[in-house]
Amino acid sequence: MSKREKTQTGVAPANRMHTVSEETGQIVDLVLDYSRRRMLGSDTPLDKPMSLTELTRLAGSTITEDGIGARRALGLFENVLAPACITTDHPQYLSFIPTAPTKAATAFDLVVSASAVYGGSWLEGSGAVYAENQALAWLAAEFGLPSTAGGVFVQGGTLGNLSALVAARENAKRARAERGDETPIRWKIVCSVEAHSSIASAARVMDVDVVAVRPDEFGRLAGGAVREALDEHGESAFVVVATGGSTNFGIVDDIASIAALKDDHEFWLHIDGAYGLAAMLSPIGRPYFAGVERADSVIVDPHKWLFAPFDACALIYREPEFGRLAHTQHAEYLDTLTQTPDWSPSDYAAHLTRRARGLPLWFSLATYGGGAYRSALTASLQLARDIAAEIERRPELRLVRAPQLSIVVFERDGWAAADYEAWSARLLNEQRAFVTPSSHAGRPNTRFAIVNPMTTFEQLVGILDSM
């Protein structure tokens, strides 16, 4: 029976979904048209979440035996599902850590999917790996790491931190084995009590302990307190994690004083710079990061403040070989990949199959140049300082801490948590802004997380006026 005959009898040809046909051409045209309108639109609303009941009523059952067709499916996404997702690249999305991908990066993300590029091995994707490594090398140079540094783009900061910490422990194991030293009963990670939650998560996965050190009066993990922890826990403390821009306040630990301890103590220094390390590209932010050049590994998330789409974390090792030794997977069918000196990104983190998720950043950097990034980052840093000064001028508001980077935390006199929640909900319902409540030391507050160069001082002032 021919394909045509099968179609006439209602049985879909096996290759219907993959062949180039009039139907697939229409699907591609529909998707590209929507993507173009979304990428070039200047008035995309913030939108807001819907309840399950409401989505069920509006969207109904979308998966059927015969399909509902591309036009209807895309219509449901555009008119029902997408409006139920908050627009994370909106200039007035100021909660958590927003994203603000460049137009070039967003457009090229389509190319990555359309090209069916596999980013796990040099054999299968050498061109993509070369381009990703160009972006990683540029970042490493900006961070003061040697030209031999390298790594991989992974899904996000949690996987990046986990992969770096696993490499650190494996390196510590080898060093002790080579010396004939005993392995500690419990390995330990030294970090600030303000460290990102992914560090504790990694510790649980690795079955190691966390030594949480109190920060100094400025909220920074500093060398003196770390030295005490290292002296107390000895060789069981295999890594120190310093934060290059905390999620809540944007605080940068005193990395230089921590890095100086490497002169007298044996430990791996990891910098969790998922949000803030990008600030090193700006002359305003760079002074806060002295000491990063001595790190053994760093992470930074391009989907946060390096203007790439979700999801991408750059994990960079000072000595990439330590990452490879820790993470290369071995199997008979993989021998053709692992028994060569080629650079295969799958060897440098806790993953195997991977999308070439660093390509949108590479394309954007290649298109606009590093100078455009410096300008955009500097604008966000300056805006944070400007709006902090405005907050200090208002008697009803209190700046909780002067911003180091681009996160501004403040309080409204007389407001309890319920007041912040009601105000936040009203802003979103009115489609004015997405600013969620937060807290510190038991006191409710709110915060601006500024990463989008399209965010303006006037917009922020309008939000303050609404309080």
Count Cβ neighbours within 10 Å for each residue of 4-25 and write b for 16 or more, e otherwise. eeeeeeeeeeeeeeeeeeeeee
pLDDT tens digits, residue range 22-56?
Answer: 999 999 999 999 999 999 999 999 999 999 999 99
**Mean pLDDT confidence for 443-459:** 98
**Mean pLDDT confidence for 376-404:** 98
What are the domain boundaries of the chain?
A: 19-85, 117-368, 371-465
Quote the Cα angle for 179-182-184, to 5°: 125
pLDDT at 9: 52
Q: Residue 64 pLDDT > 80, yes or no?
A: yes
Indicate the pLDDT class of residue 374, thresholds 50, 70 and 90: very high
297-300 sheet: strands from edge to edge: 150-154, 313-317, 297-300, 268-272, 237-243, 188-192, 209-213
**Mean pLDDT confidence for 204-212:** 98
Indicate the pLDDT class of residue 10, thresholds 50, 70 and 90: low
Quote the Cα angle for 373-374-377, to 5°: 85
pLDDT at 7: 52
Q: Residue 338 pLDDT > 80, yes or no?
A: no
For residues 184 and 182, what is the distance between their CA atoms, to the nearest angstrom?
6
CATH superfamily of 371-465: Aspartate Aminotransferase, domain 1 (3.90.1150.10)
pLDDT at 2: 40
For residues 366 and 453, what is the distance between their CA atoms, to the nearest angstrom?
19
Q: Compute the Cα dihedral for 91, 156, 244, 147 and give only its sign.
A: negative
Question: Do residues 442 and 462 lie in contact, with contact meaning Cβ atoms separated by under 8 Å?
Answer: no
| Residue closest to 382 by CA, chosen among 315, 439, 457, 316 | 457
Rg (CA), the chain: 25
pLDDT at 391: 98
**Region of residue 115 (phi > 0: left; psi between -120 and 50: alpha; otherwise: beta):** alpha
Q: Residue 183 pLDDT > 60, yes or no?
A: yes
Count Cβ neighbours within 10 Å for each residue of 86-122 and write b for 16 or more, e otherwise. bbbbbbbbbbebbbbbbebbbbbbbebeeeebbbbbb
pLDDT tens digits, residue range 321-332?
Answer: 999 999 999 877
Beta strands in 306-403 (DSSP E): 313-317, 397-401
| Residue closest to 380 by CA, chosen among 140, 5, 100, 26 | 100
Please report, as a single letter, which amino acid is at residue 310.
Answer: F
% of the chain at pLDDT higher than 90: 94
Q: Residue 407 pLDDT > 60, yes or no?
A: yes
pLDDT tens digits, residue range 211-266?
Answer: 999 999 999 999 999 999 999 999 999 999 999 999 999 999 999 999 999 999 99
| Fold observed for domain 117-368 | Aspartate Aminotransferase; domain 2 (3.40.640)
Computed over every residue of the chain, the mean pLDDT equals 95
% of the chain at pLDDT higher than 70: 97
Please report, as a single letter, which amino acid is at residue 438.
Answer: S
Q: Residue 337 pLDDT > 80, yes or no?
A: no
For residues 217 and 246, what is the distance between their CA atoms, to the nearest angstrom?
15
pLDDT tens digits, residue range 261-293?
Answer: 999 999 999 999 999 999 999 999 999 999 999
